């Protein structure tokens, strides 16, 4: 379930970045392949580090408070 949430959030956030990149690289050859590879790599990195970062945040209540302050 958590992996699906990470993939969904990454896709939503990446969509905006991809649209911006497409607009900036209009006419440059090979950009579609580079964008696809970069999105796949970013999803893999997020899935790799999600558990260790989650454990770190759960073990440090001060970090939890800091994260909550950014949300507010």
pLDDT of residue 19: 72
Asked if the model's pLDDT at residue 72 lies above 80, the reply is no
Of 22, 62, 60, nearest in space to 39 by CA: 22
pTM metric for this prediction: 0.56
Number of structural domains found in the chain: 1
Domain limits at 40? 2-71
Tell me the per-residue pLDDT of 31-55, one tens digit each, with 9 for 90 and over.
778 777 877 887 788 889 988 988 9
Counting beta carbons within 10 angstroms of the beta carbon of residue 42, is it exposed (0 to 12), middle (13 to 18) or buried (19 or more)? Answer: middle
Contact, 52 vs 19, CB < 8 A?
no
């Amino acid at each position: 379930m958590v992996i699906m949430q990470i993939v969904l959030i990454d896709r939503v956030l990446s969509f905006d970045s991809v649209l911006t990149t497409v607009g900036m690289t209009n006419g440059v050859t090979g950009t579609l392949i580079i964008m696809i590879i970069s999105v796949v790599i970013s999803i893999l990195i997020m899935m790799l580090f999600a558990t260790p970062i989650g454990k770190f945040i759960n073990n440090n209540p001060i970090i939890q408070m800091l994260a909550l302050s950014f949300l507010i």
